[in-house]
Structures are given as structure tokens and as C-alpha cells.
Structure 1
């Protein structure tokens, strides 16, 4: 699991410092997702650093889930592959369900896409090959990932590519719905295969689909299906093909488009059977790219998804059977229906009345009445005897007299029913006026003038409809609505944007939480020294606060390393002025603690300083002792002294003595003169020369 070099310690997270099962001490939080939080931890038993993924509270409360999680973790642990993040252990510490994994120092493919995409096809395939290799190993072991996405592809500092979170999605998904409208979507919706959205079940081909989407994103720098809500994106996966990447990046070889189309076919039977098959196809495309092939029709044809035999018939069959897959036999004879229903056709709309096309099908009541007439018609035919005769003739005349009466009565009933059906099925309805893109107040006036009530749904964000204008209506424009009925408006809030929050002086974890609350993404931490922000707290953000970003916009945190230590250095024997100038430029203060005589350090130079070295923080003081040079002493007069008396006197005064004899030395043994002379000042320890006669 990835460890992006976080500062240890997260005061806002109660899990920090906790030891799970007496073995794994949680040191710092690495990342947090929809299902779990990942921590850097220390394995106390083996004395190694690991990544521990802790399920969010609630997921581990169900005993059945916990058992399933254990089974899937064991299955993932059996995967031994150089491109799979190793699973070391799993456990349940008093309801805290966790997974222990290899710690990968590096970054994610998400960061690579942000920095490099759109990238050259060869580079994209280079990144995908180890991912497919890992998935192929899992597929051979009967394990489906279900959550292939850039954040689960880790790239170590040494360049190794590893796929994380095998088996986790399957363990969680068994109790959740894989739909866009209820439950939990296990897996990032941008990479979900259509069958996961619709059915909630997946096989190896769902992983292939996710890799195909990932390839599209590497090639173009954007996701193939985007929308303002999760539901919109999921809908597009089910109903829209992934477009060819060459639409965004011209001059891509057609066989690259074909590779993406094959992997992302909405019909899973048209995709590669598993990651191993797709890996083979990637190798073929990679070889063509390496050879500089601009177009290879044969390779393109081999890769392009082809419909199965009879597939077109299957697709078209519902329409041929009457639409919507209805396989019931046709009950009505169309000619007979037309004859019977002709008198019931609704009259033309009166001026100012409702407008719009007639209903697509006869009202239910009219069809029921037609059934009655049809049965009466058949019953009347069945009642006629097969042979004639007087009785038969009388009966026939009676029937002829009753016939018109019954027909008139039937027609009256039919007209009444038809009129009622027309009223209930058509006349009491009107068309919903088109008010989309109108300002809210104008839309209200338009609907009220049409005799309709106005209600409001929750406002919604839109990249295309300005704030305050109508984004959608229910019913939609042109749809039928009861006269004096209600039209529900959704008003646009404009583009969904969020300001970068003020997170200065927060801890890094608190700042990340604040970004998540604003639907913004934390990208990376940048450490800087600060004189006024304590270590571990945020100094500022990049971009700066109040910058407006789209949802998911990346924000860097500049985090304090504390005060910057400033080097003092060694200044003994150096000029006080030079020391003062240099250290004050660094931000330190230099003060003279005293002055002393020195026989070895020149006047004005530094004899000593405190501290003698090391570092201080800005504004702190270095105290220096400055030399006054050697001490000067008065030279006592020894002229006329005997030699020994003169020597003793000068030595006691702090001088060395040197004896010279006068040229007219007569061996009397008295001092004739001295140098320096009596009363002069000389440095302590200097030599006084006496001349003896």
C-alpha cells in the first residue's frame, strides 16, 4: 500500500497510537476512502513497517460480513505476484476489521495521470502491462478485483508497479447493491462495467472493462463518461459506448482505438475473456507501436469487437415482437379493430383546447368496449341457425327488428364510453409548457398562465445552465399533464464549485478532512520551516484559500516543519565585526559578554562565544568574549640594582629578563641601564633587557 511520506502523528484521529490485536501500532494516516482508512503501522512482532487498512465503523458489525472478509482476505493473500501488493494478515480487534498489507513507498497512478496525461500510447501500455499481469494472475486464481482504478495502482519510488485491494470489493459487495440508485457502489463509478451497475454481479470481464477505461484516461487525460451525479455516469456506462480516444487525440493509430473499443464493449461477451487475453492484445499493439506502424487494418479488424452470430436478431427481436420485449400473441385483428373503433375517434380539439399528438394507443376503456362489441358481433353470428324454415324466418325477422335497436344501443354505449375515455385519457390533460432555461420567476409565470401549479425539487448543479434558470421539469416539456396539475421545477445552482477552505493552523489530517467536506482532493504535503506556525500544522494551501475549484480539484498543503534551526559556527580568533555581520544576516543576535586580555588573540577578535557551535532559532542570542590584546604592565626601574635583585623585581612585575654586559664591563654587577626604560608599559610576559657593568 502506498505511503506518500506523511508526517507521523495525527492528533485528530483517535486510531493513531492504537495497537490492533496487540501487534500493529498505528503510526500515521496515509489515506482515507469510502470504505476504509489506511494507516502506516509498525508490526511490533516482526519490527517492520506495514500498511493497515481499517474498515469504517459499521462494515465490520455484521458477523457474516466479517467471515466473508476473512475468506476474501485469505484468497488475496494466496496471490504471490511481483505486481500485487502483498497481503500479510487480517484481523478483527473488538469490532475493528482490518487488513495488513505491504507498504509501498511511492505514489499512485492517479498522480501520474494528473501530471502526464494525455500520454503517448507506448507509455500508456507500459503502465498497463504490469496491471494486466497482476490481474491475469488473480483471474487464474479465480479472484476478480472489481475496483480497478488509478488510486489502486501504486508506483514505488524505484518504478515498480503494484495493484492493491484484491478481494476487498468482493467481500463488501456481497451485502450491497451494485446499482446507481440504491445501496453502495463498490468501485469508483467511472470504471464500473455496465453489468456491475445493472446486475450487481461481475466476472473477469468487469476488470477488463475497467482497464479499458483506464487506458482511455491515460491516452486522453479525461474519463470517457462524465456527469454531474453518480447516477448520470452510471447511466452512460450502461447506455453509451466509450468513444474512440482518437476523437480527443487525433492521429492515434486505428488499432489503438480498436483495443479500447474491445476492452470497453458494453456487451461483456465481446470483451477479452480475462486479463491474460487482453495482455496478449496489448503486446500485439505494443509491437506495432514499437515498429512505427501508423495503420494495420488486419490488427484493427482482429481487435475490433464483432457481434456474435444472431446478435443483431436478438437485439431487434423485441421491436419485431411489438416492442419492449413483449412476446404475447396479437389479440386484436387490426381490420376489425379499425372498423369497431372508428365511431369512437375523439373529435377535433376545440380552439384554445389542448394541443399535441393523439395518444399512441387507444384508451384502455375504449379497447374494453370494443371487446364487448366484438363479442356481441360474434355472438350474433353464432346465434343464427344453420338451416332455414318458418320458425327460422320468424326468428330472423325478429332479429332483424331487434338488430338496429341493439346496434344503436351498442353504439350509444360505445360513444359514451369513448367520450369518457377521451375525457379521462386525453381531454383533461394539457401539454407541459417548455420552461427549461427560463429564469425561475418567468418559468413560474408561464406555468401559472397555463393553469398549472408550480412545485420545486431540490436545486442541482449544472455546467451548462446558469444559476437561477430552470434545469429540468417533471413532467418534461411537451409531456401530458393534468389541467390544473403540478409541474415540478429543478432550478440550476450553476456550475458546482467549491472554495478552497481556510485550513491554516489545522493539523494535516484536519485539513484533509476539511478538503473532503468541500469535495476537494488532497494531493500532496509540502514541508516548510515556519517561525510562527507550530510543527505539523498547515501554513497555507496551493492554490490559496478562496480559490474556486471544480469538485475533486487538487489542493496541496504546505505543512510546517517548525522553526528553522540556524547554524552558529566557530568564530574563535575571528573578527567580532565579521561574526556580528554574518550571524545577524542569519537572523541571530550577537552581544559582547565581556572583554579580556589575551596574549594569543589579537585585540578586537573573539576569544570565545556561547553557544560554542550548533544551532539556534531566529532571534536568539550568541554571547561573545572579545580580546583586548595582551595586558600592558609598567616596567619598574631597576637601574643601580644588583643583577639578582633586578631579575627578581622584573619577574615579579610580569616580565622576562635578559642580561647584557656593557662594553666597559668591569664586573661590578650593577644595572647600568634597561630596555624598555623605567616607567614604560610593556605586555605581560614580554622581555626587559638590563645592561650590567
Structure 2
């Protein structure tokens, strides 16, 4: 599981206490020490944790409180553990353990530090086709392994693709996470709906999931194709004002060729996207393994610098295979308007197949009619001897006109009935889109219908208070006196960025989610006054109005800025003080000492000498006063050499005795250097000249 941020594990104790998250610090099942929360979803939260038994860092997914009482939610947790445990693949996030502790259901899984494919799309897309295929290949490899094991993922999306960087090699490693929706193909009827609720992210839902809630491996293939389109273009193929509109487009609109948005993409790459995202699931590759093979063919063509390969393009173009025999039914898909809102239920080839048996049956019936019945029998030949009789005039029958009148009456009655029951009783719904509430109601009631107000909805194009939709829609026929539900606009759906300053990072993320906004990234910033882990603000700022699900970055305090201290020993004390104070440190240089080795004004010692401090911390400098000076005493001249030597040595001087040029051996001092009364460094040498 993804690690979104990597805080100091030892420095989080106090910060987590502020968040009030009851899980943080808890020892789950006597084994997992829960740390900071690193992700949050609608069903569970993910925490960084320490497995104290094996001494390793893991990610623990914990079901939200209360959901454990729902057997279906609990079953999904168990299913995720069992599904992932069946998979052994380097591109699948490993699940280590599953259990329950005092009503808390959890999964222990591999911790993947890094980022998600969604972050890559935000920063790199649109990207070169070769780069996009490189990112998609390990995803398909992981899904292919799952499909071979009889599992379908059912929630393939960029947020469930984690990307970590190997610190030793620097290479990226892609892993597919969250098999919580996975189902065993062999043990399920391939449903992807639970209690009538569609599961999965709507932007990546295959059309068959929207129509009847059934999924097989080709649903994962469709989602992978949508991700490939998003990597190539930087946008999703289908977008709308609501999830329902997006789902509708998945059913009624083809995914456009990526080259429409990013010119220059080879046609065979467009064909690969079209093959993977075909609305008819029979046109898609059977599973991720087949799509992986096709992707590698395209990757080789790109690596060879091939700009156009008609044969490869034609080979990748969607083909319809017979569901029983596997033979090709239609090599070419009949052209259809990509934005067709009411597509034919069958294409031309299928209709031709359906009609063929009828024609053959008609031919067979015609051939079975006896020849004698095909034409009236010839009248019998009259014998020559028979007498001639005048032909009898046929008697006119009255049944014909009566039957004709009855048929006409029945036709007229049937026509009137069809007109009345199929047309006359119905009134077309008037068009009221864009009208105000009162005007819309008046127009509907003027048509002989009743107006009923439905639940309001947001709209990017229709102002608040005006009609954005009716049920039935404009032009639809409704029984006289029927009801038309009117939906009024709430205006554009916008939300203000909440004030997050002073919150913990987890609290700020919850505030964004509760405001229908999404969390983007954490941006660290040093602060001398705000404790580490506390939110300083957001980008965009609080109060900014945004679309729903817009990403908001949080500016989080990193605490005081660390200051690196250098050693100023034997350097000028004034320069040292100026440099340290410029960094915000306090300098104490009240101590001065004599030094025979350090010049006056330089630093004798410093405390601390090196390391990291913070603004306002103190540095103590001991400054040199230079060597200690002592006065040469008077009365040394004409005194005995031994007496003069004793006095000088008592003052700390070194004494050197020399005989002068007039030496006569009496042993009296003739002169002193330096002279009496002068100042000389303590410990320096004084020369005595004697007679």
C-alpha cells in the first residue's frame, strides 16, 4: 500500500495525540503498532504500522467503525486477503495478514513508499506513447497473472497503481493494489453490483457494468484501455457534470482516438486504445494477457521508429468473434456516430445473420408446394359424342361484398383503436428546459399535464432556479393528465476551500474530503512559531471557490529551520559574532582569556563547536586577550646576577645571562633587555648583561 508521506516516526507521538485518531498508537491484535494515517477511503483508512513480531514496517488497512457490522463489507475484507494471497507477482502489492481485533477488521500488507499513477498523470501527461506503454506494461502483467488465477480486479484506476523507487538502483517499480473488489470468476456469476449498488470508479467502468452489472476479465481490459488514453492525452475520455452522465457516455459513446487530442500519435496506437475500450465486450481482448501481447507488439513498433504500419493497425482494429465458435463474424465494424445516443441494438452483420434463416425458410416452403396446386386443373376434355349444352351462368354470391364490408369495418376499428390507444390519448411533453419554475409549470399544465418538482441538481450551463431536465423528456408522449417531473438547477456546483490553518494534517485532509474537495500534496515549510506537523495554510487559499473533487495542496509546518554551526576557533571573534547573529543565533562572548598562542581578538574556543541549532539558540565564544604582559622591575642594574635572576623568574620570565664586552668577573648586572619599567609577555626571555 502506498505511503503518501514519511514523517519522523519518533517525532509523531505528540502530533498524533492532537489528531484524536483513536487508532494511532494502538497495538492491534497484539502485533501491529499503529502509526500515522497515510490514506483514507470511503470504506477504510490505511496506517503506517510496525510489525513488532517480525520487526518490519507495514501498511495496515482498517475498516471504518460501524462497517464491520455489515457482513458484506466484512466479507470484502476477507475476500481481499484471500484474493491477494493467491497472487505472487512483483507487480502486485502483497497482503501479509488479515484479522479482527475487538470488532476492528484489518489487513496487513506491503508498504510501498512513493506515489501513485495519478500523480504521474498530473505531472507528465500527455506523454510519449513509448513512456505510456512502459507504465502500462507492468500493470497488465499483474492483471494477467490475476486473470490466469481466475480473479478479476474490478477497480482498475490510477489511484490503485503505486509507483516506488528502488533506492539502490533508482529504477521505478509499479505495483497494483486494492484487490478488495476482486471476485473469483469460477465461483461468482460475474456480478459487480452488491445490493443494487454499482462498485468501481465511474470513469473506468466498462459499458456492460453500467447496463447489467456483470463483469469478466474484459472489464479490467476496458479500464486499462481508459488509463492508456489518459496517459497519452492527460484527460479522461468521458467527462460529465455527474457520475450518471459519465456512465451514460461509456454506454453510448466510443472512446475517441488519442490522436484527436494529441496529433502525431501513430494510427496503430489509436487502434490499440480502440481495441481495449470497445463498447462491445466481444470486440475487446479476452483478458489482460492478450492485451499485454498486443501492447508489446506496439512497443516494438515504436522502438523501431515505425510511424505507420497499416498491417499492424488493421490487425489491432476491433473484430467481432462468434461467442461459441470463436470465428470472425465481422472483420470490420460498421461505422457508427461516436456520439450516437440511441445506437442500434445490432450491427449490420448481426442483422444479416438474423435475416438469413428467414429467407431460406421461405424458399423451402415455396419448393414444397405441389406442382398440381400451383395452377388450377385443366377442364376435362368433352367426348365427341356428347351433346352440346349451353354453359350455365354462375350464380352471383353475396358473401363477397359482405365480407369486404366486415373487413373494412374491422380495419377501421383497429385503426381507430390504434390511433386512440397509441396516439390520441397521449400528449407530447412540452420543452421547458431553461425556463423558470413558474413558467415551466404553467406551460406543462397548459398542455393538460401535471407538474411535479423533482430533486434539484447542479448544472454548469443552466442558471440556478431554471429547468435543466424533465422526466419524461421534451417530445416524449405522456397520457393525458399524466405527471412530468421537473428538475431545477442549483447552479454550478462549487465549494469553498475550508480554513485548515492550525489543524493537523489528518484533520485538514478530512476537512477537504468533507467539503467535496480532494487532497493533492503536502508542501513542507519551515516555521519558527508553528509546531511541526501543523497546517500553515492551503493552496489555493481558504475561501477560494472550486469545482468538486478539485485538488488542494496543504502547506504543513516543518518546525523551526535548522541552522548548521561552523567552528570559528582561531578565527576573528568579530566576524564570528556577525555571522552567527545573521543566522538568528545569540552570541555570548563575555569570557576573555590570555593566550600565548592565539592572537588578541581571535576565538580561543567555541561551544558548541559544530552541529545543528535553531533560531534563538546561544553560542558561547571565548576570546583571546593575547599574551599576558608583565612589567620589568627596576633596581636590577648594579645588582647581583643571582638576585636579578630570581626576581625575573618569580615574575614568570625566562632569564638569559650574557657577559658584556667589558666583563671583569665581578658578577653584577650591567644592563637589562627589555629595560626596567617596560612591559613584556609573561614567559618571554629577559637578557641580563653582566660585568
Q: Would the TM-score normalized by the shorter structure come out above 0.5?
A: yes
Residue matched to 2:265:
252
Matched, 1:140 2:138: no
CA distance in 2, matches of 1:161, 1:20: 29
CA distance in 2, matches of 1:564, 1:511: 23
Deviation string 1:328-376 (CA, Å, 9 cap, x unpaired) is xxxxx9965541267x69xxxxxxxxxxxxxxx5445xx9xxxxxxxxx
3-state SS in 2 of match to 1:647? helix
Which structure 1 segments of 5+ residues have no match?
321-332, 346-360, 368-420
Residue matched to 1:83:
91
1:25 aligned residue (23, 28, 33): 33
How many aligned positions are there? 603
CA distance in 2, matches of 1:111, 1:678: 84
1:166 aligned residue (179, 189, 203): 179
* CA separation of 1:164 and 1:68: change in aligned 2, threshold 3 A: closer
Residue matched to 1:413:
none
Greater mean deviation of Cα atoms: 222-231 or 454-463: 454-463
* CA separation of 1:190 and 1:334: change in aligned 2, threshold 3 A: farther
CA distance in 1, matches of 2:537, 2:681: 61
3-state SS in 2 of match to 1:668? coil
Measured after TM superposition, the shift of residue 131 of structure 1 is 1.3
Question: Are the aligned partners of 2:153 and 2:220 in contact in 1 as well (CA < 8 Å)?
Answer: yes
Deviation string 1:546-584 (CA, Å, 9 cap, x unpaired) is 444332222322322211221232222211211122112
Residue matched to 1:658:
656
* CA separation of 1:479 and 1:588: change in aligned 2, threshold 3 A: same
The TM-score normalised by the length of structure 1 is 0.78
Matched, 1:681 2:689: no
3-state SS in 2 of match to 1:460? coil
1:492 aligned residue (482, 485, 489): 489
Deviation string 1:507-530 (CA, Å, 9 cap, x unpaired) is 111121122122222232232322
Alignment of 1:168-317 (within 5 A): 168-170=181-183, 178=192, 183-307=196-320, 308=322, 309=329, 312=347
Measured after TM superposition, the shift of residue 149 of structure 1 is 0.8
Deviation string 1:204-248 (CA, Å, 9 cap, x unpaired) is 111111112112212222112222222222222233332333332
3-state SS in 2 of match to 1:629? coil
Deviation string 1:229-271 (CA, Å, 9 cap, x unpaired) is 2222222223333233333233433333332222222322222
* CA separation of 1:199 and 1:94: change in aligned 2, threshold 3 A: farther
Residue matched to 1:155:
163
Question: Are the aligned partners of 1:643 and 1:669 in contact in 2 as well (CA < 8 Å)?
Answer: yes
CA distance in 1, matches of 2:307, 2:82: 46
Question: Are the aligned partners of 2:568 and 2:606 in contact in 1 as well (CA < 8 Å)?
Answer: yes
Alignment of 1:92-171 (within 5 A): 92-157=100-165, 158-166=171-179, 168-170=181-183
CA distance in 1, matches of 2:298, 2:657: 103
2:413 aligned residue (340, 353, 366): 340
The TM-score normalised by the length of structure 2 is 0.78
* CA separation of 1:642 and 1:297: change in aligned 2, threshold 3 A: closer
Measured after TM superposition, the shift of residue 299 of structure 1 is 3.0
Question: Are the aligned partners of 2:93 and 2:110 in contact in 1 as well (CA < 8 Å)?
Answer: yes
Deviation string 1:52-105 (CA, Å, 9 cap, x unpaired) is 222223443245764564355223212111222222221122222222222222
Measured after TM superposition, the shift of residue 146 of structure 1 is 0.9
Residue matched to 1:514:
511
Measured after TM superposition, the shift of residue 599 of structure 1 is 2.3
Question: Are the aligned partners of 1:25 and 1:41 in contact in 2 as well (CA < 8 Å)?
Answer: yes
* CA separation of 1:439 and 1:627: change in aligned 2, threshold 3 A: farther
CA distance in 2, matches of 1:445, 1:74: 60
Residue matched to 2:370:
none
3-state SS in 1 of match to 2:676? coil
Deviation string 1:440-459 (CA, Å, 9 cap, x unpaired) is 67667877988988764443
* CA separation of 1:146 and 1:448: change in aligned 2, threshold 3 A: closer
Deviation string 1:8-57 (CA, Å, 9 cap, x unpaired) is 44442221222222112222222112222222221111111122222223
3-state SS in 1 of match to 2:687? strand
Question: Are the aligned partners of 1:177 and 1:183 in contact in 2 as well (CA < 8 Å)?
Answer: no
CA distance in 2, matches of 1:582, 1:183: 70
* CA separation of 1:313 and 1:633: change in aligned 2, threshold 3 A: closer
Deviation string 1:123-180 (CA, Å, 9 cap, x unpaired) is 2222222111111111111111111111111222131222112354439x98998569
Deviation string 1:394-416 (CA, Å, 9 cap, x unpaired) is xxxxxxxxxxxxxxxxxxxxxxx
Residue matched to 1:323:
none
* CA separation of 1:618 and 1:176: change in aligned 2, threshold 3 A: farther
* CA separation of 1:337 and 1:266: change in aligned 2, threshold 3 A: farther
CA distance in 2, matches of 1:515, 1:300: 45
Deviation string 1:93-123 (CA, Å, 9 cap, x unpaired) is 2222222222222221111111222222222
Residue matched to 2:168:
none
* CA separation of 1:445 and 1:590: change in aligned 2, threshold 3 A: farther
3-state SS in 2 of match to 1:235? helix
1:578 aligned residue (575, 579, 589): 575
Matched, 1:526 2:523: yes
Residue matched to 2:629:
632
Residue matched to 1:394:
none
* CA separation of 1:640 and 1:621: change in aligned 2, threshold 3 A: same
CA distance in 1, matches of 2:613, 2:152: 57
3-state SS in 1 of match to 2:619? strand
3-state SS in 2 of match to 1:650? helix
Question: Are the aligned partners of 1:73 and 1:168 in contact in 2 as well (CA < 8 Å)?
Answer: no
3-state SS in 1 of match to 2:69? coil
Question: Are the aligned partners of 1:498 and 1:550 in contact in 2 as well (CA < 8 Å)?
Answer: yes
CA distance in 1, matches of 2:301, 2:569: 71
CA distance in 2, matches of 1:589, 1:337: 111
Question: Are the aligned partners of 1:452 and 1:486 in contact in 2 as well (CA < 8 Å)?
Answer: yes
* CA separation of 1:584 and 1:102: change in aligned 2, threshold 3 A: same
* CA separation of 1:212 and 1:646: change in aligned 2, threshold 3 A: same
3-state SS in 1 of match to 2:183? helix
Greater mean deviation of Cα atoms: 598-607 or 442-451: 442-451
Residue matched to 1:5:
5
